[in-house]
Amino acid sequence: MRRSKLLAVAIGTALMAAPGVVLAHHGANLYDMTKTVKVTGTIAKFYWGNPHNEVTIDATDEKGAAVQWVAYTEPPLVMLERGWTRKSLNFGDKVTAYIFQARNGSPVGTLNRIVLPDGKELTAYPMPGAPAVPNPPANLRSQ
Amino acid sequence: MRHIFAASSIALVAAAIALVVGPAVSAQNTARVADLSGDWLPDRSRGGMGQSLSLSDIGGRKRGNEDDIPYQPWARAKTLSEKTSTGPDPHFEATTDPQVIYCEPPGVPHIYLWPIKTRFIQTPQAVYILYEIGPFFRVVWLNEKHPDDPDPQWWGHSIGHYENGDTLVVDTIGFNDKTWLDQMGHPHTEKLHLIERFKRANKTQLEVDMTIDDPGAYTKPWFSHRNLVLSDSGFLRYQQICSVRENQQFFDNVGKPAVPTPGK
């Protein structure tokens, strides 16, 4: 009996941990992709790697309290195509970021774009000008 | 003397080519080889990869009810039971996408729905298809037959041939049933017979026509298509490897804080 209870606890713990493995990509249900919030602060960390790059920004909220934001982009392989490199952001850079924030209000989300100290703007998501739906060739449309 | 030297040089070059190319090359094999050289990226000018193989529903909004996917009842129910990680109804924290959950290979044709490049290494005996994600590669055996009873595997067993001097036809059987056909959870069975036709439409465009023939899941063969465009920005500039540890770190940093608290 005691063993069964321990097993149940172990399974429960495993299930609670499982979303960590599950939650690898794509967060449109967790983040409000209809609008961005403006975050001004300094780069605390720029993780360049899989499964997604992460931009950590030290900022303050409207009451002046310190708040640390984390926003992710697509992985390096994709962002390299968009002109980003691992040196695009550096510790201490003063930036303004536009973030699709978590629906629950947490200071995390998907990075839309970020303005660097020299005024240069880097777009993360979505790609500018990309149409939503591909145009299949005529010979396959009717099949 | 000069002529003898020239003739010797030609003979040496010919011998060198023979060594490199190997005895299996015949004039017929080399005469109509499609030139697939270059790096091929999903054509963003035409919308990129999409999430679904359905040509009537590239974005996945009609999942389970597409008019061009001839489901068997169980396959439709299975599709609708899956929780996708992307598309119009994503379940980021609870997806059932095996590629996301287990870091398993996406397989084909699912891999063409990733924003990664494809490169073809063409030899007389085989075409090696390299993908930036994984990084994975497949071997397409030329002028060979499928084994009678291939072991079911992630990438199946592929044979191929060239047509019209501009197309590589790849015929694959022997898949396992663990992958999704696309991001929208369309299933397949070990009976899947996939035919991919890679056509060099022009210098910068590669058309990929796909015939999905799986009598275990669909009532008749159906078709899909993607366009790839020539890229000169380089191949495999970053290794897109799926790591459970890195996925966990990402979840801890960005995902877990965004998961709604029950009751709120």
What is chain B's length?
A: 264
Per the model's pLDDT, the better-predicted residue between B28 and B182 turns out to be B182
Alpha-carbon gap: B77 to the closest alpha carbon of chain A (Å): 22
CATH 2.40.128.20 is held by the domain B32-258 = yes
Topology classification of domain A37-123: OB fold (Dihydrolipoamide Acetyltransferase, E2P) (2.40.50)
AA identity, residue B202: N
The listed range with the strongest mean pLDDT (A27-36, B47-56, B99-108) is: B99-108
Lowest mean pLDDT across A40-44, B151-155, B247-251: B247-251
Q: Which of residues 102-141 of A touch B (CB under 8 A)?
A: 102-104, 106-109, 127, 130-137, 140-141
pLDDT in the model for residue B150: 97
> Helix (H) and strand (E) counts for chain A?
3, 6
- Are the beta carbons of B68 and B54 closer than 8 angstroms? yes
Question: Hey, are the CB atoms on B242 and A24 less than 8 Å from each other?
Answer: yes
* Whole-angstrom distance, CA of residue B156 vs CA of residue B150: 8
* pTM for the full predicted model: 0.81
- Average pLDDT per consecutive 10 residues, chain A (143 residues; last block may be shorter): 36 32 52 92 98 97 95 94 95 97 95 94 71 32 27
pLDDT in the model for residue B18: 39
Residue ranges covered by each domain of chain A? 37-123
pLDDT in the model for residue A49: 97
pLDDT in the model for residue B30: 54
Question: Hey, are the CB atoms on A77 and B250 less than 8 Å from each other?
Answer: no
Alpha-carbon gap: A121 to the closest alpha carbon of chain B (Å): 21
How do residues B158-168 score in pLDDT, each as one tens digit?
999 999 999 99
Return mean pLDDT, chain B. 87
* Whole-angstrom distance, CA of residue B131 vs CA of residue B112: 9
* Whole-angstrom distance, CA of residue B187 vs CA of residue B177: 8
The answer, for B245 touching chain A at a CB cutoff of 8 Å, is no
The listed range with the strongest mean pLDDT (A55-59, B56-60, B243-247) is: A55-59
